[in-house]
Amino acid sequence: MNHFFILGNHQELSAAELSACFNFKKTKFLNEAFLAELDDFDPKLMIKKLGGTIKIGRLLGRFSKQEILKKMSEELLKAPKTSKFNFGISLYGKSALNFHKIGIDLKKQMKESGVSCRFVTSKEKTLSSVVVEQNKLVSSGRELVVISENNFLWLGVTEAVQPFKELSARDYGRPGRDDYSGMLPPKLAQIMINLARANKNEIILDPFCGSGTILTESLLMGYKKLAGSDISKKALDDSKKNIEWISKRYDLKYELRLSLTDARFLTKDFKDNSIGAIVAETYLGPQRGQVDYKKISLELSKLYSEVLIECAKVLKKGSRVVLALPIFMNRLKLNLKIPSSLAKLNSYVYGRENQRVWREIIIFVKK
C-alpha cells in the first residue's frame, strides 16, 4: 500500500467512486480510510474531482506501537522547515497510545533539534480538512495520519484535503439559485458523475437539470459537451447563468444544449444512441407539510419508470445512467419498472439522521 484516502460520511458510496476513478492494484479498508496500491498521480488535482474523499496522502508503512514514535519523529525532522512550521496528528480507529502526549513529545524533540514548531490539536481525535488547511499542514507543515489495524499502526502524511472553500463558493456563490426547490450538493454531483464513468468526449445529459449543478461540475471535471433539460424555464435560465459563471471563473470552453423538455419525452429532442452518460437528481417529492408518502411513492415510481424507457433509447450501448431518487422518511423506496435494455448495477443510500427524504443513488448500464 502506498496511498490512503480518508472517506466522507457515506463510505460505501465514496469507495465506489474511488473504484470508478482508479485502477487499483491492491486495496484495504480500515476505519474510514481506504488504503491502496496504485501508480503515481497528483493528489492536489485529484482531490478536486472526488466528491467523497476528505483527504489523500502517502503511506510510510505499517509499524508496531513501539516503532511509531521513532517513525513520526524521522518524518518531521526531514520535512522542509519554514519560519512557521506546524504539525498535527489524526488517528483513525482505536489505539491505546496517547497521541496528544506523543505530539507534545515530538514538539520537544523538534525544539531540541533546533526547530521551532507548533503542535496543532483539536477536540476530536482527527483534524478536519478545515483545520488542516487553515494551519497550512499540507503546504508548509505536516499532518501525520495514523490508521489502526489490530496491533499495528499505519502511518501516513496528508498531501491534499477537500477544497471546502471552492465547494462552498460553487454552492452558495452561484448567481442562479433556487433554495425553495433545493439544490444538489456539488460533492454528491461529483460522485455521481464519476460513477457514470463516461469518456470525456461524450455528451453528459441531465434531464432534470434544475440550476445546473451536475452540468457545472461536469464542466469542471473535464466534460465539454453538456446537455440539460427541465420542465421549468427558470431552471434552464439558472443553469445557463451558472454554466456561464463557472466557465468565466475557470476559463473553460464548452458546448451546451438546453431544452424545455419533460424527461418522459427525451427522444423529442435527443437522438437515439447519442448520449454518453445520463446523470441526474430527480424531483424528490414534497419536502414540507403533511405528505402521503405512499401515494407520492406510487406516482414517482410510475414517472421514473417512464423516464428510464426514454433514457435507454437516447443512451449509447455500454453507457450509464446514474440517478438520485427519493427514499422517504419511513424508508419507503420507489418501485421501478426497469426496461429490458437497462441493467441495474448498484445502488447506494445517501442521507443523514432526521432528514425527511434521503437519496438512493442507482447506477444502470445499457446492455
Q: List strands edge to edge, sheet with 26-30.
A: 26-30, 33-37, 3-7, 53-64, 152-161, 142-149, 85-92, 117-120
Tell me the pLDDT of the chain averaged across its residues. 93
Could you state, in order of their start, the residue ranges of all structural domains in the chain?
Answer: 3-162, 165-366
End-to-end CA distance of the chain: 35
Maximum CA pair distance of the chain?
74
Write the Ramachandran bin of 78: left for phi over 0, alpha for psi from -120 to 50, otherwise beta: alpha
CATH 3.30.2130.30 matches 3-162: yes
pLDDT given at position 258: 97
Query: Each residue of 268-327: pLDDT tens digit?
Result: 999 999 999 999 999 988 766 677 888 999 999 999 999 999 999 999 999 999 999 999
The string of pLDDT tens digits covering residues 203-258 is 999 999 999 999 999 999 999 999 999 999 999 999 999 999 999 999 999 999 99
Q: Residue 326 and residue 320: Cα distance in Å, rounded?
A: 19
Mean pLDDT over residues 125-152, rounded?
95
pLDDT in tens, 54-85: 999 999 999 999 999 999 999 998 887 767 78
Strand boundaries in 126-181, DSSP class E: 142-149, 152-161
H-type alpha helices, 113-232: 129-134, 164-172, 186-196, 213-220
DSSP secondary structure letters along 222-233: T--EEEEEES-H
What is the reported pTM? 0.94
Q: Are strands 53-64 and 26-30 parallel, antiparallel or unpaired?
A: unpaired
Question: What is the arithmetic mean of pLDDT over 165-186?
Answer: 78
Superfamily of domain 165-366: Vaccinia Virus protein VP39 (3.40.50.150)
pLDDT at position 67 is 94
pLDDT in tens, 86-102: 999 999 999 999 999 99
